[in-house]
Amino acid sequence: MMHAGMRATVITVSDRASSGVAEDRSGPLAVAFLEGAGFACPAATIVPDGAESVEQAVRAAIQDGSRLVVTTGGTGVGPRDLTPEGTAPVISRHLPGLVEEIRRVATLETPGGMLSRGLAGVVDGPAGTSALVVNVAGSTAAVRSAVPVVLAVAPHALAQLDGGDH
């Protein structure tokens, strides 16, 4: 694998999990998928809902050397579902096709998949520090359907960010 040992980060966005009221189940599942694909991925970081907490966590993950950042949660239409708003300022170039496919696959499982407002994109940095960031809904079902879609294109996207040929 060309991304073996490459750093990835999972950020769980949840008021309930960050306050200890609920267990984070989607973050550890996403970590398991990324580790299974050969990424070096620490335990999920848990932050409360809100644009500012998401933006800070994504920026910190990239600053720490993560090349792939997957967020879980906060992509719906609830009042505190602001993960896309926190991700948008970090993204240099959007990848709408990736989130379109994630939504398409999710909608095959449940009509609610159409309500995900998640974003995906590239965060441009100097060679070797550019990253791929993807928002995924917060359920374990969403992680099971979305993370394989991300992993299907992540190696190619990361190779392109590193100057690889098409």
CATH number of domain containing 144: 3.40.980.10
In three-state secondary structure terms, 46 is: strand
What is the value of pTM for the model shown?
A: 0.96
- What is the enclosing helix (H) or strand (E) of 84? helix 83-87
CB of 83 closer than 8 Å to CB of 26: no
Which residue is listed with tokens 């992680």? 143
Q: Is residue 166 part of a domain?
A: no
Q: Is residue 19 part of a domain?
A: yes
Structurally, the chain folds into a number of domains equal to: 1
Q: Is residue 2 part of a domain?
A: no
| Closest of 136, 123, 144 to residue 61, by C-alpha | 123
CB of 40 closer than 8 Å to CB of 30: no
Per-residue pLDDT of the chain (166 residues; tens, 9 = 90+): 455 679 999 999 999 999 999 999 999 999 999 999 999 999 999 999 999 999 999 999 999 999 999 999 999 999 999 999 999 999 999 999 999 999 999 999 999 999 999 999 999 977 668 999 999 999 999 999 999 999 999 999 999 998 887 6
Host domain of residue 37 = 8-161
